[in-house]
Amino acid sequence: MGADQRLLGAARAGIRGARADGDAQQVGRLLHRPAADALRFHRGDARCADAREGRAPLPLRHHHGPARGGAVRGGVVPARAVPAAGGGDGVVVVTLDIGPLRLATPLLLAPIAGHCDLAFRILCREQGGVGLASTDLLNSHAVLRGSPRSLELAATDPADDPCGMQLYGNWDDPLPEAACWALDRGARLIDINMGCPVDKVAKKNGGSLLLCDALGTVRLAARIVDAVRRHSGGRVPVTAKMRLGWDPERFVAPELARDLESAGIAAVTVHGRWTVQLFSGKADWARIGEVVSAVRSIPVIGNGDVTEPVHVAALMAASGCRGVMVGRGALRTPWIFRQAEALLRTGTAGPEPSFDQKVACIERHVDLLERHHSPEHLLHCMRSRVSWYGKTMGHVKALKEAVRTAASVGEIRTALRGWRGLEVREPVLGRSFRETPAG
């Protein structure tokens, strides 16, 4: 039996509620190295709590959970298992409950800063398998003052359901009021960003800096939960997305997740890196498992280094998490959710989309951008995204250049049609796409 089959067996055993401890350990050894193997961070970075004026340094907290690389927590069901229509051994349809909200799959599209606009969320949903998609992170002050950019980021559509809205800010910002604002605009879930590592967010004491004052962060979460409960009548859950901690000396995620659960948070998503790593090194899935062991009953959603459908099963097996959030992996393969859902249900991810199907997906993305966003946003988005799509499509240098220099959506469509081979010879900005690229 190959490594992928062992991996899938462990994940699906967990879905049925069985202990998958031994298999999960084997999966960890075969397919995932601890993040420490490739960890790169700056020990001199003092932007955490001990650099906050007037706050005491954050003590090193020790969590007595399973050892790194340890077993899946016994009794934790990674997702709700529902027998598929027609039955069949081992065939399940997985759902995920977050408070009162039931998701059709345990697969979530991450609120990827700068990429997760309405058009892309709908595109991923149309490809299949998405249980929840969330907006780009929203500044609490900006949404309340009606910033045009924030209104665009928060825009949703009946095809974008269920939609979560992610807010960022700190203890002194109007996050409870912003959460109520989001509810009035159709949010089915409110997510608090506690994990963004970039300076734009952290320098305002938001994102990952919330990890550095656990007590203040839990109090903030309780205020948001109370406001949302009152405003929605208890129908909308509040969740939190975090990292493991600021650096390896501050592994706060397990204790913080447990305290957030006590404050009413309905689920936590954990990205398996430290803030100082940004996106370098490896995500430490075993550490996510320690968060799973720390909470009492809420679902933990794993995130980090999920770029293939099999990684979903691997992460669930290695950590015991109930759901998986996909970020950068979806930028190059928006169909990853459909394949991952099929893998969990049936044991196979199904065929890879053909070259023409991949180009058709890009063309559909253009359609959705044209429908929901400005021409300027469309051009900017496609210029940045064609490189991501090209990672699975062979040589795309000519297409990238044509899209980069395109002055209109029409020129982008022409480039895609020619590259797809539907028009065997049509000049595009001085180029000819007669040859069909390798797919």
Name the residues annotated as catalytic.
196
What's the residue count for the chain? 439
Q: What separation, in Å, do the N-terminal and C-terminal C-alpha atoms of the chain show? A: 30
The set of residues, in sequence order, having a beta carbon less than 8 Å from that of 384 and lying 6+ positions away, is: 115
- Asked if residue 217 lies in contact with residue 83, where contact means CB atoms within 8 angstroms, the answer is no
Q: Rounded to whole angstroms, how far apart are CA atoms 12 and 94?
A: 10
Strands 323-326, 300-303: pairing is parallel
Distances (CA, A) of 118 to 26, 111, 159, 324: 40, 11, 10, 21
Q: Amino acid letter at 341? A: E
Cα four-point dihedral sign 182, 187, 190, 196: negative
299 upstream amide cis, omega within 30 of 0: no
Structure tokens at 58: 């954050």
Q: In sequence order, what DSSP letters do the residues of 124-140 get, joined into one string?
A: HHHHS--SEEEPSPEEH
Q: Residue 280 has what DSSP assignment?
A: -
Q: Partners of 101 in the beta sheet?
A: 98
Letter for the amino acid at 394?
Answer: G
Which residues are 133's β-sheet partners?
109, 163
